[in-house]
Amino acid sequence: MENLDATLEEALGKVAACEDEAALKEVERAFVGKKGAVAAILATIPSLPPDERKDVGRGANELKQKILQAVAARAGELSSATLEAERKGEGFDPTLPPARLATGSLHPITLVTRELEDLFESMGYTVLDGPEVELDHYNFEALNIGRDHPARDSQDTFYCDEEGRLVLRTHTSPVQVRAMERLDPPFRVVAPGKVFRQETTDASHDHTFHQMEGMVVGKDISVGNLIGAMKTLLRGIFGKDLDVRLRPGHFPFVEPGFELDARCPFCSEGCSVCGRTTWIELLPCGLVHPNVLRAGGIDPEEWSGFAFGLGLSRLVMLRYGIDDVRHLLGGDLRFLEQF
Ligand SMILES: [Zn+2]
| Residue 274: per-residue pLDDT | 82
Residues 30 and 159 reside in one and the same domain = no
Q: Minimal CA–CA distance to 292: which of 302, 300, 282, 281?
A: 300
Residues 149 and 217 reside in one and the same domain = yes
Task: Evaluate whether 1 touches 48 at the Cβ level (below 8 Å).
Answer: no
* 279 CA → ligand 1 middle, Å: 7
10 Å Cβ neighbour count for 5? 11
Residue 94 lies in a domain: no
Residues 41 and 117 reside in one and the same domain = no
* 263 CA → ligand 1 middle, Å: 8
10 Å Cβ neighbour count for 291? 15
Residues 242 and 306 reside in one and the same domain = yes
Alpha-carbon Rg for the chain in angstroms: 39
Residues 305 and 156 reside in one and the same domain = yes
CATH code of the domain in which 130 resides: 3.30.930.10
| C-alpha distance across the termini of the chain, in Å | 75
Helix axes 21-32, 2-17, angle to 10 degrees: 170
Residue where a domain terminates, one of 58, 87, 116: 87
Note down pLDDT in tens along the chain; length 339 residues.
Answer: 778 888 899 999 999 898 888 899 999 999 988 888 888 888 888 888 888 888 888 988 999 999 999 999 999 988 888 788 777 777 677 788 888 887 888 999 999 999 999 999 999 999 999 999 999 999 998 888 877 777 676 568 899 988 888 999 999 999 999 999 999 999 999 999 999 998 888 887 889 999 999 999 999 999 999 988 888 888 888 888 888 899 998 888 899 999 999 888 888 888 887 888 999 888 899 999 999 999 899 999 999 999 999 889 988 888 888 888 889 998 888 898 888
- How far, in Å, are 1, 112, 319, 339 from residue 334 at the CA level? 69, 19, 19, 10
| Residue 232: per-residue pLDDT | 87
User: What gap in Å lies between CA 30 and CA 205, rounded to an integer?
Assistant: 71
Residue 284 lies in a domain: yes
Residues 126 and 7 reside in one and the same domain = no
Fill in the DSSP letter of residue 104.
-
- Contact partners, residue 62, CB within 8 Å, separation at least 6: none
Residue where a domain terminates, one of 87, 119, 140: 87
Residues 134 and 275 reside in one and the same domain = yes
Residue 102 lies in a domain: no
Residue 123 lies in a domain: yes
Residue 98 lies in a domain: no
* 331 CA → ligand 1 middle, Å: 29
Give the domain extent around 77: 2-87
Residues 290 and 209 reside in one and the same domain = yes
* 276 CA → ligand 1 middle, Å: 6
| Residue 201: per-residue pLDDT | 86
Q: How many CA atoms lie within 13 A of 187 on its CB side?
A: 19
* 282 CA → ligand 1 middle, Å: 13
* 280 CA → ligand 1 middle, Å: 8
Length of the chain: 339
- Contact partners, residue 97, CB within 8 Å, separation at least 6: none
| Residue 56: per-residue pLDDT | 87
- Count of domains in the chain? 2
* 153 CA → ligand 1 middle, Å: 35
SS3 of residue 215 by DSSP: strand
Residue 115 lies in a domain: yes
Residues 66 and 127 reside in one and the same domain = no
Q: Are strands 126-127 and 187-196 parallel, antiparallel or unpaired?
A: parallel
Q: Which residues pair with 309 in a beta bridge?
A: 213
Residue 92 lies in a domain: no
| Residue 282: per-residue pLDDT | 83
Residues 55 and 142 reside in one and the same domain = no
* 271 CA → ligand 1 middle, Å: 4
Residues 215 and 312 reside in one and the same domain = yes
| Residue 95: per-residue pLDDT | 82
Residues 114 and 191 reside in one and the same domain = yes
Task: Evaluate whether 132 touches 168 at the Cβ level (below 8 Å).
Answer: yes
Residue 96 lies in a domain: no
